[in-house]
Amino acid sequence: MDAKPLELMQLQGVLEGLEVMKTETSAGQRLGFNAYRFSFGERSLVFYSLRGIGSTAPFLAAGDRVEVIAHWYGNMPREEGLVYALRNLEDGRVYLAHGIFRIRFSDRAMTTFTARWLRDMVQVLGMLALTTTLLLGVISLFVGADWSPMLICAGVCAIGIAMVVLSYAIGRALWRLGWTTQRQRLAQRVYAAFGLGSPLASRLPARVYEV
């Protein structure tokens, strides 16, 4: 039985006391992220975005008017709220905090299993497969060894990519049939609150970024 849906709040305000802190994860692969801490009056909030190659850094400044979708774990005004989505009303850009849920807040996670995630994963696996295969090919060519290691590597990588795609296809089909997980329903609620369409869409609307 699913847990009770998280209570989300949609608020507008001016960024007060904006602080940006750089930090890293301490478990598994090390991923860097930025923590944007600010307040709306008495309410404190934090918005996380991943740092690194391929990531988008939110453009925020103190005094910006923003709209957020956030959750307070204990629903107390002085507790720090976790921001799932942020729209900067100064430039119209929207930032969706998918990345942080890969590494933190598993009990309050919004799914990262989107079409964009699949595209990025296939690109990474494809580049890894191509690089490894070419490297083995060069080694085989210069040392006179047989080509079987290269073929085996290419086959393994192809199987890995196929498994990722198949897993996503099955999950997408179940999602469309309404057999959703709590994380998927949470993502749907966040997207709907900002009028962003479905999390399953292969492309995000203009000026919308997964961070």
Quick check: 54 pLDDT over 70?
A: no
Predicted confidence (pLDDT) per residue in 88-104, tens digit? 999 999 999 887 766 67
Give the mean model confidence (pLDDT) for residues 177-188: 81
Q: State both tokens at 82.
A: 């976790």
- The candidate with the shortest Cα–Cα distance to 8, out of 41, 37, 45, is 45
CA 98 to chain centroid, in Å, comes to 3
Mean pLDDT of 116-128: 69
In this structure, the strands spanning 43-50 and 80-88 are parallel
pTM over 0.85: no
Here the tokens at position 56 are 């988008």
Residue 104: DSSP 8-state: S
Strands (E), 73-178: 80-88, 94-96
